[in-house]
Structure 1
Amino acid sequence: MRDYRRLTVWSKAHELTMMTYQITSKFPTEEHFGLSSQMRRAAISIASNIAQGYGRQCDRDFARFLHIASGSSCEPEYQLVLAGDLGYINNNVMRQPLSTCKEVRQMLAGLLKKLAAGR
């Protein structure tokens, strides 16, 4: 049985999710069902799509879910910028998760390239 937790890109996406939860836990209470919830769902979506795709039995299905995860990785990036513009977080807090978003996107692109070369 394949274990998605062995994928470096999944680990990095999970790390982003954990950072997102930590950051949003400090948001104002009025954002509990707004930006905070949306940021958490967006971050969760990346790792979830990687896991779901990896559980599929063919590389074509896996690639489709990786494309979805890649698109999802842009969401938390924007939401971090928005949270900064709203004054919920400062640039120092934003730096690491923004870097991790970029790293996840690059890793997904590399994995997609590898899958395409294997066809």
Structure 2
Amino acid sequence: MYKHSFEKLEVWQDSIDLVEVVYKISESFPVEERFGLTNQMRRCSVSIASNLAEGTSRITQKDKSHFSTMAFSSTMELLNQVIISKRLNFIDDEAYKKLRAHLLMISNKINALRNAQLKK
């Protein structure tokens, strides 16, 4: 089966793994958060992967790096939401540390991708 260029990106693959983690962790959030923090975190995690994918379809390096920047911004937004979730006791220490480590890895890879795009 043919794979698009974004599917070959390690950072995109990692971001898809993150989506799964966020969906599983947020299942345990209070029901009243379904349209609040749960929805925001899920949409944000999907946005990281989506921006990485969309960026690969752009022609200029400037456009590509723009979507990498958007993916990075969504990563920081999700980190903020993870911190809030921890402070509200929606997630335990283990889930918090796992998510932070995953987000750090992805943010570093996005930065490396963006830097490479800007150098071309």
| Band the TM-score falls in, shorter-chain normalisation | over 0.9
> C-alpha deviations, 1:56-108, integer Å up to 9, x for none?
22322111100111111001111111111111111111111111111111101
Tell me the residue number matched to 1:11: 13
Tell me the residue number matched to 2:55: 53
Deviation of 1:2 (Å) = 4.1
> C-alpha deviations, 1:14-38, integer Å up to 9, x for none?
1111110000011111111111000
Cα RMSD, aligned residues only? 1.3
- Structure 2 Cα separation of the partners of residues 51 and 26 of structure 1: 29
**TM-score when normalising by structure 2:** 0.92
How many residues were matched structurally? Answer: 118
Cα pair 1:46 1:70 within 8 Å, conserved: yes
> C-alpha deviations, 1:36-65, integer Å up to 9, x for none?
000001111110000011112232211110
Tell me the residue number matched to 1:115: 117
Q: Does 1:32 align with 2:69?
A: no
Where does the alignment leave 5 or more consecutive residues of structure 2 unmatched? none
**TM-score when normalising by structure 1:** 0.93
Where does the alignment leave 5 or more consecutive residues of structure 1 unmatched? none
What letter corresponds to residue 55 of structure 1 in structure 2?
A: S
Aligned-pair identity in percent equals: 29
Tell me the residue number matched to 1:78: 80
